[in-house]
Structure 1
Amino acid sequence: MSPTETTTAAFREAASNKQTEKPFPMDGTGLIAIDPWLEPYAEDLRQRYAQYQKWVKDIEEYENGYDKFTRGFEIYGLNVQPNGDIVYREWAPNVKDASLIGEFNGWDRTKHPMTRNAFGVWEVTVHALPNGAPAIPHDNIFYQISMTTPEGERIDRLPAWIKRVTQDLTVSPTYDAIFWNPPEKYQWKNTQPKKPESLRVYEAHVGISAIDGRVAQYDEFTANILPRIKDLGYNTIQLMAVMEHAYYASFGYQVTNFFAASSRYGPPEGLKRLIDTAHGMGLYVLLDIVHSHACKNVLDGLNMFDGTDHCYFHEGGKGRHDLWDSRLFNYGHWEVLRFLLSNLRFWIEEYRFDGFRFDGVTSMLYVHHGIGTGFSGGYHEYFGSTVDNEAVVYLMMANDMLHKLYPNIITVAEDVSGMPGLCRPVSEGGVGFDYRLAMAIPDMWIKLLKEKKDDDWDMANICWILINRRHMEKNISYAESHDQALVGDKTLAFWLMDAEMYTNMSTLSPLTPTVDRGLITHGLGGEGYLNFEGNEFGHPEWLDFPRAGNNNSYHYARRQWNIVDDHLLRYKYLNEFDKAMQNLEEEWGWLSSHQAYISLKHESDKVGTEWAGEYRVVLNTDNKRFNGFGRIDESVTYFTSPEPWNNRKNSLMVYIPCRVALLLAHN
């Protein structure tokens, strides 16, 4: 057997013998109990677990544990005291002097000099006005930290822990720091909803959510898009590009200000209203968190913060991502860990996010960042000198901290490598994520649509790729995320229908075999499901942000809700099917059930089943409600016979026309 097949068998045996209920060795090798193929790498597991334990022990000893250590946002940056004083702290270990400057003190470097402690942390107190009001007024007051390097160079930077920045492109492409201290704090109305058992994720970008070509606002998303998401039956929203980023077209992946919600979409209270309203609808909200790299901007980012290239990042080539043209964090430094772990806490405490989708995890896990690496599945690829153990340990700590402090948190890893244990508890030696994205599935669909005719699709191979994942590690399946929707290739809807998107999507035109096509993903691909905004109705065009290459046009940086709302177009039928599918999963919960066993992949054979009795149709793609041909009589009851079939005790015969999928339920 192959390693994958043997691992699968071991996982099943572990589950059947309830080995997972036994105490695991507390040295990081617990994973071996459920995956014997990891035995040769026991020492690697021990070493990284020992690093993790040392960090936790040191944080407990010197910082009184996770809770205090990860509340850096209450210590660093500008924080208003009960008496109205403002205390500003910043870590800048390589400068000779520092001062706080801004409109409030006429940008005078002599008025608020800062003092340094032994750890390179600078501090100053801006005393309150005589009436007790903060000396720095709320909003529209620009400020910076001004520093002198050992070489005598004067550098001005935006505070690293800044919570609000704005950008006026008519003046400069760089951001300005804003002191955000509204006199009336946001009053939350709703509590966190119940954690979803089956994760159905609606991946969304606030800015592209308007019909017309412009940047949509938080409040518009709340009013116009949240009701659509709820009606469709999704239970989780994943928000992209919220952390402030310099370049809109980067899809949020060139983060400049890690504690600031993007001002493009409105004030912070708009994001809070969005999340609060989503909670009132029973929806979880995940943040797309970018801790894999940072924008290389100097004036409004973290790069060269204290005049050196190694303040928050590795120095030299190790600190640069050649493909992304960005900076790479030094995950082995105390203050960098404080910054990143506190960043996670901040988005939960300040905005009440329910979890995170960690971007670029593959880049973090390996010193080669996944560049030019195919990941064949050999276990040697996941250990040894190619692995960045400091980054792995950081992710272990992040997941450990989040799950201990917030038991209902959800964390998702964007990882293409398939590292064993990524989605197993840290106590076993795993990295601690709840889910990983099943990134091979969209690649499979694109490859099939590009290279093969429908008649040449291999059902057995399709099913294999859908179910080929590590058992006891949860996956989120998807056919198309934001990555596949971006300009540069055709979207799946275009690959399926091509020119007929423009000629045969009217309900007045004939339904052609080209338009009458579909993909399998939801039922087999994972323990969660993800859809990118607009794909639920087959959005007709790719996503392209304004940039020099398109004359800075917003034409494709939008979602055309008008076409799904138009009763004369067929997009509404796909939307209706997506709605039926999501709501049916809510009723039956197949995503959160044990992984399906496929007895046979054969177009003309019987269906085997363990459960004798009657079956009825609960979802039928041929239903006219979904623009099908109505060839299936859904009132028919299907009865099993006691004839065993493909290792199942019973079997039944079902009429299924070509290009039709049926979902049957046992009465």
Structure 2
Amino acid sequence: MLSEKILEIDPFLKPYISDIRLRNQNYLTTKKRLLEKGQKISSFANGHHYFGFHKQKNGWIYREWAPNAKKIALIGEFNQWNRTSHLLKNIGDGVWEIQLTDEDQLVHGSKVRIEITTENDKFERIPTYCKRVVQKKETVDFDGQVWDPPQPFEWTDQEFKRPQDEPVLIYESHVGMAGIKEGISSFQEYIETVLPRVKELGYNTIQLMAIAEHPYYGSFGYQVSNFFAVSSKFGTPEDLKLLIDTAHSLGISVLLDIVHSHSATNVVEGLAQFDGTETQYFHAGDRGTHPEWGSKLFNYGKTEVIHFLLSNVKYWLEEYHFDGFRFDAVTSMLYHHHGLGVSFDHYDKYFSINTDTEALTYLQLAAEVAKEVAPDCILIAEDMSGMPGMCLPIDIGGIGFDYRLGMGVPDFWIKTLKNTSDYDWNLGSIWYELNQRRPQEKVVGYCESHDQALVGDKTIMFRLADQEMYWKMDVFSQSDIIDRAIALHKMIRLITCTCAGEGYLNFMGNEFGHPEWIDFPSPDNNWSYSKARRRWDLAEDTNLRYRFLQSFDHAMIELVKENNLLATSSELLLHHEDHKLLAYQKGEFVFIYNFHPVEQHTVNLQIDATKAKLILHSDWQEFGGYLDSTNEQKPLVASSTQFSIPINRRSVAVYKI
């Protein structure tokens, strides 16, 4: 039996005890249905070891699940795409199998498909467990590729172990747009260009997007067709392994942005209508199609679907040594309405008929599989609803994740920047938004991610500076707009990083205020890659101000990492709405903000600050300000319990006391 301790942690859940009990019961009932007595859930999640292509002593064995098929033929380069020479055998329960000898000439790298014949139709598909899928030259079509290199990849990361007490500092990354060139960058280019930057900036984790194969590049990787295949756009599976192995050698953990919330509608290279039916992997009718994305929605109550997805979780951990996952679109999974147009302002909206209980149970099982395979792995849920218990252990009524993304914070900053002059910012609202969290549930805080950088939206820096970025970001120009943008960019990031969660996330390039938006090639932009890349050169140009923002971000990450500040609670010391002053303490560190657009103020705090030392100031010259950080900064201390310090407009100072 599972406990109901979650009700003690969050007493507001007590009226919903029946829903918590249903959550627990569904989890136990589903495990009982799936597992043999004494079997672990990770032992159940072995589809990738059974299905697909597997090298044998003298040849290969290939298996596929296609219950609606009447005949299946394996076709490919090895048999000149012959549709009659290599027929699979139906071995029961919708599973088909064929054994090939070395004489069949199936080798590593062979391009393959299968031809499925049903009662009324005949069509080609790519095997579901293919580890590599490649696009045909000059067409939109794809082929599967048998992938089992004669020389297995040699890992060197045996000694790597992520410190369990170290909060995650995530550098969210898209490999394809990680280079300066106008085109798709590779895993190798990411190793050479981005990993050294991540190490230098101080982030301890990278989160890789768009890794599973997706036919449409502009989907940002969120329309997955082949769940076990590494996107061939960026390189080979071994290239990805080298990236992860190299990251581990630098002390950097690697998370996979995993998409189990929906699937591409592509037929030949996807799961949609794989065996000719709508319901092999997905719900039927309207329930099987996302009303906004048009993608296919999994049937999380079906044993074979659970098996497929859980095996996928285990596969990425085993085969590629990922250190965990960011589960995409969890809100869409959790609710029948997918969270569309819903404001989660009352506990009623989390439970009863609103909840897709089968999806919730699947998330619990996925968390359990991941922790059994890799006990130290990191699990992050992209859930904007704030589902109670998302980041609490399963055995006390939770769902089992480690962190939830603090998605309300970037929305708050966008709304604030878009609708309110900083003369009118409400610091009380800022403090509340950054510090509200469910009890004992950890959050990854952030002020912007890739979502805010996409075309149609704006990054914080672009929203603050707009077109002035095109003309006034050089060190020789004078611009009040740019000065304001740089000042607020630093302040917003520091207060978000130190207050909004127990972890922190930044999308690559945003640390230096990367200009403009992300726009993938499409007919609308004449298939241009000019805005689907990262202009690292801007942050390295000493004649431009981007380097000041990058230097500040580096100092900020170093501060919170070296002093474990994200694991330290914040205590509000001062809030003066008229003067736009805010001060708080985290352990030995005091953060003092003056958000006022015009006036300098003196902050008086009743704390023991006789040994106070200024360790960070947003107005230091290396951050684009006017103060010389090499000069000793002495606070004005009136007594052992009175801390008094002047602070300039739009600036933040951090003291160690």
State if a TM-score over 0.5 links the two structures.
yes
CA distance in 2: counterparts of 1:607 and 1:368, whole angstroms: 50
CA distance in 2: counterparts of 1:63 and 1:167, whole angstroms: 44
1:658 aligns with 2:628: no
Displacement, 1:34?
0.8
Output aligned runs, 1:446-485, within 5 Å.
446-485=414-453
Select the residue among 329, 332, 340 that pairs with 2:301. 332
Counterpart in the other structure of 2:586:
none
1:115 aligns with 2:84: no
CA distance in 2: counterparts of 1:612 and 1:400, whole angstroms: 47
Select the residue among 330, 334, 340 that pairs with 1:371. 340
CA distance in 2: counterparts of 1:37 and 1:312, whole angstroms: 37
1:635 aligns with 2:603: no
Residues 611 and 32 from structure 1, CA distance in 2 versus in 1: closer, same or farther, beyond 3 angstroms? Answer: farther
Select the residue among 602, 617, 621 that pairs with 1:620. 617
Select the residue among 265, 270, 289 that pairs with 1:320. 289
Output aligned runs, 1:590-609, within 5 Å.
590-593=565-568, 595-602=569-576, 603=581, 606=603, 608=605
CA distance in 2: counterparts of 1:79 and 1:244, whole angstroms: 20
Select the residue among 162, 168, 193 that pairs with 1:224. 193
Counterpart in the other structure of 1:209:
178
Give the residue type in structure 2 aligned to 1:659: R
Counterpart in the other structure of 2:18:
43
CA distance in 1: counterparts of 2:415 and 2:616, whole angstroms: 28
User: 1:199-239 CA distances to partner (integer Å, 9 max, x unpaired)?
Assistant: 11000101001112100010010011100010000000000
Contact 1:59 1:65 (C-alpha < 8 Å) held by counterparts = no
Displacement, 1:613?
4.6
CA distance in 2: counterparts of 1:85 and 1:480, whole angstroms: 50
Displacement, 1:490?
2.4
1:137 aligns with 2:135: no
Select the residue among 408, 413, 418 that pairs with 1:445. 413
1:76 aligns with 2:51: yes
CA distance in 2: counterparts of 1:525 and 1:306, whole angstroms: 46
1:66 aligns with 2:41: yes
SS at match of 2:306: helix
1:522 aligns with 2:492: no
CA distance in 2: counterparts of 1:610 and 1:403, whole angstroms: 43
Structure 1 stretches lacking a partner, 5+ long: 1-25, 643-649
TM-score normalised per structure 2: 0.92
Contact 2:63 2:96 (C-alpha < 8 Å) held by counterparts = yes
Contact 1:203 1:239 (C-alpha < 8 Å) held by counterparts = yes
Give the residue type in structure 2 aligned to 1:189: T
Displacement, 1:174?
2.2
CA distance in 1: counterparts of 2:636 and 2:97, whole angstroms: 75
SS at match of 2:572: coil
Counterpart in the other structure of 2:595:
none
Displacement, 1:449?
1.2
CA distance in 2: counterparts of 1:610 and 1:629, whole angstroms: 28
Counterpart in the other structure of 1:3:
none
Counterpart in the other structure of 1:539:
514
CA distance in 1: counterparts of 2:38 and 2:128, whole angstroms: 21
CA distance in 1: counterparts of 2:607 and 2:281, whole angstroms: 57
CA distance in 1: counterparts of 2:328 and 2:294, whole angstroms: 16
Contact 2:521 2:527 (C-alpha < 8 Å) held by counterparts = yes
Counterpart in the other structure of 2:354:
386
Give the residue type in structure 2 aligned to 1:190: D
Select the residue among 156, 159, 168 that pairs with 1:189. 156
CA distance in 1: counterparts of 2:332 and 2:283, whole angstroms: 15
Give the residue type in structure 2 aligned to 1:256: S
Output aligned runs, 1:181-580, within 5 Å.
181-191=148-158, 192-195=160-163, 197-376=166-345, 378-510=346-478, 512=480, 513-518=483-488, 519=492, 520-580=495-555
Displacement, 1:108?
2.4
Counterpart in the other structure of 2:596:
none
Displacement, 1:599?
3.3
Residues 63 and 509 from structure 1, CA distance in 2 versus in 1: closer, same or farther, beyond 3 angstroms? Answer: same
Residues 57 and 122 from structure 1, CA distance in 2 versus in 1: closer, same or farther, beyond 3 angstroms? Answer: same
Residues 70 and 539 from structure 1, CA distance in 2 versus in 1: closer, same or farther, beyond 3 angstroms? Answer: same
Contact 2:41 2:368 (C-alpha < 8 Å) held by counterparts = no
Displacement, 1:611?
5.8
Displacement, 1:511?
5.5
1:586 aligns with 2:555: no
CA distance in 1: counterparts of 2:269 and 2:614, whole angstroms: 58
Displacement, 1:431?
0.8
Displacement, 1:128?
2.5
CA distance in 1: counterparts of 2:431 and 2:58, whole angstroms: 63
User: 1:60-112 CA distances to partner (integer Å, 9 max, x unpaired)?
Assistant: 3179332321121110011112x132111111111222222222123223322
Displacement, 1:313?
0.6
CA distance in 2: counterparts of 1:459 and 1:169, whole angstroms: 56
SS at match of 1:286: strand
CA distance in 2: counterparts of 1:631 and 1:607, whole angstroms: 23
CA distance in 2: counterparts of 1:509 and 1:156, whole angstroms: 61
CA distance in 2: counterparts of 1:241 and 1:611, whole angstroms: 50
Contact 2:602 2:645 (C-alpha < 8 Å) held by counterparts = no
Select the residue among 74, 94, 101 that pairs with 1:100. 74
Contact 1:163 1:260 (C-alpha < 8 Å) held by counterparts = yes
Contact 1:480 1:532 (C-alpha < 8 Å) held by counterparts = yes
CA distance in 2: counterparts of 1:250 and 1:571, whole angstroms: 29
TM-score normalised per structure 1: 0.91
SS at match of 1:230: helix
Identity of aligned residues (%): 45
Displacement, 1:459?
0.9
Residues 630 and 256 from structure 1, CA distance in 2 versus in 1: closer, same or farther, beyond 3 angstroms? Answer: same
Contact 1:606 1:651 (C-alpha < 8 Å) held by counterparts = no
Residues 396 and 608 from structure 1, CA distance in 2 versus in 1: closer, same or farther, beyond 3 angstroms? Answer: farther
CA distance in 1: counterparts of 2:116 and 2:435, whole angstroms: 55
1:178 aligns with 2:122: no
CA distance in 2: counterparts of 1:223 and 1:46, whole angstroms: 51
Contact 2:486 2:549 (C-alpha < 8 Å) held by counterparts = no
Contact 2:180 2:536 (C-alpha < 8 Å) held by counterparts = yes
Displacement, 1:169?
5.2
CA distance in 2: counterparts of 1:563 and 1:157, whole angstroms: 45
Displacement, 1:651?
4.6
CA distance in 1: counterparts of 2:48 and 2:254, whole angstroms: 21
CA distance in 2: counterparts of 1:607 and 1:157, whole angstroms: 70
Counterpart in the other structure of 1:15:
none
Aligned residues: 624
CA distance in 1: counterparts of 2:30 and 2:632, whole angstroms: 60
CA distance in 2: counterparts of 1:223 and 1:405, whole angstroms: 30
CA distance in 1: counterparts of 2:560 and 2:254, whole angstroms: 19
SS at match of 2:496: coil
CA distance in 1: counterparts of 2:604 and 2:241, whole angstroms: 49
Residues 610 and 397 from structure 1, CA distance in 2 versus in 1: closer, same or farther, beyond 3 angstroms? Answer: farther
SS at match of 1:100: strand
Counterpart in the other structure of 1:5:
none
Bigger drift between 188-197 and 93-102 goes to 188-197
Displacement, 1:608?
4.7
Residues 69 and 63 from structure 1, CA distance in 2 versus in 1: closer, same or farther, beyond 3 angstroms? Answer: farther
Contact 1:496 1:517 (C-alpha < 8 Å) held by counterparts = no
Contact 2:607 2:643 (C-alpha < 8 Å) held by counterparts = no
